Amino acid sequence: MPFATTRDGVEIFYKDWGPKDAPAIMFHHGWPLSADDWDTQMLFFLANGYRVVAHDRRGHGRSSQVWDGHTMDNYAADAFAVVEALDLRGVVHIGHSTGGGEVARYVAKFGEPAGRVAKAVLVSAVPPLMVKTEANPGGLPIEVFDGFRKALADNRAQFFLDVPTGPFYGYNREGAKIDEGVIQNWWRQGMMGSAKAHYDGIKAFSETDQSEDLKAISVPTLVLHGEDDQIVPIGASARESIKLLPSGTLKTYPGFGHGMLTVNADILNADLLAFVKS
């Protein structure tokens, strides 16, 4: 399996599909998943003539299960290790949820002046800040994230069934068409990773203020968010992010939930392709 090595010695697994001279798209997955969560998008863009790359964040999927370094800074540096190893340039970076935070930090920190970044897409993404603070009154109370930590520490396997069965894909909504394969695939990806990485990752995705990252992104940026997102509520995320992005476009989806890239892939893929080609 292909791996890139970070500057602090972590082995990062990645997938690299398609012609090396094709325009490249790099995908950044959400918590607590892996590069596999992008399979539908990767096959779609591969069929449309693109080179597609996705990696497992440290402690997730097939990457090294190191006990420390589970911060947004290191997540971005891990992604850069893959970009350096493959010498990718002019890349469109697409991130979902925590991966959206990773993209924002990556583009702000590594995007200029090397010309490695062409565009960015933040899908159901956590920026600018998830947790409620005095300066961020629309965020979620810290008790919500403390509850995540307790559920993970008490019984991670059950917690990783409860999340996709319920709010992640909107399967707890009346009339929802439940796909057991989607639930099992979410569980499979989550359980491949490290409990320590997942535990520490909750702090990374909820308490990292990325306001300055967003302000620093100069490339065209598309923000996509479901209006019924029960994991990352749209009011404190996408609707605030668009105010900070110098060159941002916001598109929202009535009734769509957090996992819309999977359960509404036909619609999302078409919108992503239109932006990438624009």
CATH number at residue 195: 3.40.50.1820
Query: For residue 114, is pLDDT > 70?
Result: no
From the candidates 34, 229, 237, 241, give the one annotated as an active-site residue.
Answer: 229
The arithmetic mean of pLDDT across residues 161-185, rounded, is 97
Among 29, 60, 198, 258, the active-site one is: 258
**Per-residue pLDDT at 13 exceeds 70:** yes
187 has a pLDDT exceeding 90: yes
> For the whole prediction, is pTM greater than 0.95?
yes
Q: Is 271 a catalytic residue?
A: no
Q: Which domain holds residue 256?
A: 3-277
Band of residue 112 on the pLDDT scale cut at 50, 70, 90:
low
Q: Is the pLDDT of residue 138 over 90?
A: yes
Give me the mean pLDDT over the 64-88 stretch.
96
Phi-psi domain of 237 (left: phi exceeds 0; alpha: psi -120 through 50; beta: other): alpha
Average pLDDT, the chain: 97
Predicted local distance difference test score (pLDDT) of residue 115 = 77
CA distance 35 to 129: 24
Q: Would you call 97 a catalytic residue per the annotation?
A: yes
Say what the pLDDT of residue 1 is: 73
Mean pLDDT of 122-128: 98
Percent above pLDDT 90 for the chain: 97
Q: How far apart are CA 109 and CA 40, in angstroms?
A: 28
**Could you give the number of structural domains in the chain?**
1
More confident residue, 113 or 143: 143
- Over 70: is that where the pLDDT of 8 sits? yes
Does the structure show a pLDDT above 90 at 113? Answer: no
| Mean pLDDT (whole number) for 44-58 | 98
Residue 84 tokens, joined: 């350096």
- Of 210, 251, 209, residue with least CA distance to 123: 251
Q: Is 229 a catalytic residue?
A: yes
- What residues does 252 pair with on adjacent strands? 225
d(CA 65, CA 198): 10
Q: What is the mean pLDDT of residues 151-175?
A: 98
Binned at pLDDT 50, 70 and 90, residue 111 comes out as confident
Catalytic position from the list 97, 124, 194, 241: 97
